[in-house]
Structure 1
Amino acid sequence: MRPVLFSILGLDVQTYGVSKALAALVAAYLLGRAFERAGLKKESAHALVLWATVWGFVGAKLYYLLEQGGDLSLHDLGGMGFTWYGGLVGGIIAASVVIRRHRLPLGVVAGAVAVPLSVAYAVGRLGCFFSGDGTYGKPSTLPWAMTFPNGVVGTDVPVHPTPLYEVLGALAIAAVLGILGKRLTAPAVFGAYLVLSGIARLLVEFLRTNDTVLLGLTQAQLWSIASVVAGTVLIARKGPSRPVAKTAGGSDLTRAGASAA
């Protein structure tokens, strides 16, 4: 594990921070392409990613600090310690403001962000893995169990490498969403993201050591259940794409976009 990639003039460049920057760049690139295919401006995609990233980090840090309560330390106030669902809330609020200011169609944007969000999450989780930030799982005797002796939160006991599980899960979700994008309306694609990512986080939490808060479930699992419910409602309301009609000249005329608004 390498929590610090290198140093410049005494300033450490952390693996965790670099991975998050790369995640934002990947998201901006993928969302820019998705916007262009939808006839929207690429610049709007970049603004959306920028502000959602900034306020996502603010939300993630605030949520994490609230979780710690009176047990705060200088480590908590530093560059580590973020909560994903706090970041999601902060990012959604910032994205809503950008969507309104740029007068973007909410349904189309929701469908466009699903795959970039999932891929960016995978890139970010790679940073968690290589920095050994402590988000790994319980002790395990499985052949692929790993130790993190040099991590930010080190351990010499073989544990579940849960960040890698999440990387693989997020990439699989992105692939599934790419397929569903041809069958569902844009809002329903985002609903599918909420369902699939919620299920993935719900399951991986069973392998972690986080404290339970209600009915034997962790905070992350409760948020995951809420995500699954919200996504299911969204899919039920928006449903599959409308059938593709044929024009008099025999060319395809899709009407799915009309239901995405």
Structure 2
Amino acid sequence: MGGAFLHTIFDIAAWLVAAAAVYWLSRRRLAFPAQAFEMPYIAALVFGAGLGAYGFGSANLWLSGQSGIARSVEGALAGGIVAIELYKWSAGITVRTGARFALPLALGIAIGRLGCYFAGLDDFTYGTPTTLPWAHDFGDGVLRHPVQLYESAAMALFATFYVATVLNRNGFVVTNGFYLVLVYYGAQRFLWEFLKPYGTLIGPFTLFHLLSLSILLYAVVILATAPKARSLHERAAA
């Protein structure tokens, strides 16, 4: 099978698993904000994510001395966040609406990155050369860091943590899960960017270094102002 075909298969799998995660969470009877399923909200999310995916993906490609159009999951995440925050501001929505997306996001990235790995050199998500024993040859005879697998494993680890806390009815994690996954994603993505052959923008930092830090800092600020949450067991007993 060709790399592009495998990438598409894993992209579809990522969406299906993300949808299954939404369904699983709904069966846990968790109190997620209803606004996240309203059509204007979804429209803003899709528009912002699409614009960010292709805008940041293509910009990184050009900064790396390559031509063409590319898309980026981190760009989609950043674009979606900006679009939703603008929509909430314009609509006067003050509740935090991202809680239900924590697990779907983590699982979607974990599976989607496998597609990037199998896509090979054409995907431009591979790592820099290394002599480590798990280095991978993507087809040009150069052994590289399989950074796609690093990120996939990291996000799968977060998903495992999140499921465990949901099963334990941890109120803080359920309420603030989206911002926790953003902190975690931003931190691990920032590290992996040092192992990628992307063109730098400021000093040793690439566009995605700066984007990762922006996402991380955004989430930290939101978490710092989060109200204390009781466990869901305590709520039920109250």
Alignment of 1:74-153 (within 5 A): 76-77=68-69, 81-92=70-81, 106-107=95-96, 109-132=97-120, 133-149=123-139
The alpha-carbon distance between structure 1 residues 66 and 137, as it changes in their structure 2 partners (threshold 3 A), is closer
Q: Which amino acid aligns with 1:176?
A: F
Higher relative contact order (CA 8 A, sep 6+): 2
Q: CA deviation at 1:38?
A: 3.0
CA distance in structure 2 between the aligned counterparts of 1:56 and 1:130, rounded to whole angstroms: 24
Q: 1:180 and 1:195, CA in 2 relative to 1: closer, same or farther beyond 3 A?
A: farther
Does the CA-based 8 Å contact 2:78-2:215 persist in structure 1?
no
CA distance in 2, matches of 1:27, 1:99: 23
Q: Structure 1: how far apart are the matches of 2:232 and 2:25?
A: 21
Map Cα deviations across residues 89-116 of structure 1 (whole Å, 9 max, x no partner). 333366679989xx99942x41211111
* Matching residue of 1:19: 10
Partners of 2:43 and 2:13 lie apart in 1 by 12
Using the aligned pairs only, state the percent identity. 27
Unaligned runs of 5+ in 2: none
Q: How many residues align?
A: 229
Asked whether the equivalents of residues 27 and 49 of structure 1 are also in contact (C-alpha less than 8 Å), the reply is no
User: Which amino acid is 1:123 matched to?
Assistant: I
C-alpha offsets along residues 128-156 of structure 1, whole Å, 9 cap, x if unaligned? 0111122111111111101011xxxxx31
Q: Unaligned 5+ residue runs, structure 1?
A: 5-13, 150-154, 254-261
Map residues 1-261 of structure 1 onto 2, 5 A cutoff. Answer: 2-4=2-4, 14-36=5-27, 37-38=29-30, 52=45, 56-67=49-60, 68=62, 73=67, 76-77=68-69, 81-92=70-81, 106-107=95-96, 109-132=97-120, 133-149=123-139, 155-180=140-165, 182-184=170-172, 186-242=174-230, 252-253=237-238
Over the aligned positions, Cα root-mean-square deviation in angstroms equals 3.6
Structure 1 residue 183: Cα displacement: 4.7
- State the AA in 1 paired with 2:154: G
Q: Determine which structure has more spread, i.e. the larger CA radius of gyration.
A: 1
TM-fit CA distance, 1:159: 0.4
Return the offset for 1:46.
10
Q: Tell me the SS of whatever aligns to 1:238.
A: coil
Letter in 2 for 1:141: T
Whole-angstrom distance in 2 between the partners of 1:84 and 1:223: 11
Cα distance in structure 2, aligned partners of 1:135 and 1:129: 8
Aligned partners of 2:33 and 2:95 also within 8 Å: no
CA contact (8 A) 2:53 2:76 kept: yes
Q: Is the 8 A contact 1:138 1:160 kept in 2?
A: yes
Higher mean C-alpha deviation, range 212-221 or range 160-169:
212-221
C-alpha contact 1:22 1:123 (8 A) present in aligned 2: yes
TM-score by length of 1: 0.72
Greater share of residues in strand: 1
Asked if the contact 2:136–2:145 (Cα under 8 Å) also holds between the matched residues in 1, the reply is yes
Task: Give distance in 2, aligned partners of 1:193 and 1:207.
Answer: 22
Assess if the C-alpha contact under 8 Å between 2:162 and 2:173 holds in 1. no
Displacement of 1:85 after TM fit?
3.0
SS for the counterpart of 1:156 is coil
